[in-house]
Chain A
């Protein structure tokens, strides 16, 4: 069964350092989402891609976060510099097209701890 792959699964870093997370969506899925889930809260959308284009990045803290999906396949989310409040689970999801009745498939996430 096709799955969304994410790496690393766990990342510990010190504040002020740069971190990067990678996501490989299900093959053929045009839409890719990055979510952040802070402990005790639900996932919050950070950025949505349709192919290589950003559709929604209204909740992405652009002073320190960046995301790219250069070839419209896999994607990288970067934080530079990391802050203590960035400690969270970062989830990637994909769907075969955009649309609110189209199921989003989630990866296992990357758990980030900032010390």
Chain B
């Protein structure tokens, strides 16, 4: 059973606009969440994270929002740039460093 779900396999956004990537989880014991970005032919790279004691974490153009009651988190990219085109993975962990990944969302930012 998929504990971390990314229900949108793809997203297309115009350059300069906001990109919103969504992630849902089922395990209420998860208390740390991460987003990874993956370019073709490269491994995933860490983007941003959030602890369950927070509901928002911001790093430059990237902001992650966490709604614990809904078991939902989202990644906002503002403004979106063509270089942001990649696959984005949501991941979660419980009380260990084992990461449970979602299936990924392919973001395409067009001019």
Hey, which bits of chain A sit against chain B, CB under 8 A? 4, 31, 40-45, 48, 56, 91, 93, 95, 98-109
Contact = CB atoms under 8 A, between A and B. Distances in A.
Interface of B: 4, 32, 36, 41-46, 49, 89, 91, 93, 95-99, 101-104
Contacts of A103: 46
B99 A45 contact: yes
User: Which secondary structure dominates chain A's binding surface?
Assistant: loop
Given A56-B96, A100-B32, A101-B32, 8 more contacts: A40-B103, A41-B103, A56-B98, A91-B43, A100-B95, A100-B97, A102-B97, A106-B36
A4 to B, nearest CB: 7
Nearest to A4: B43
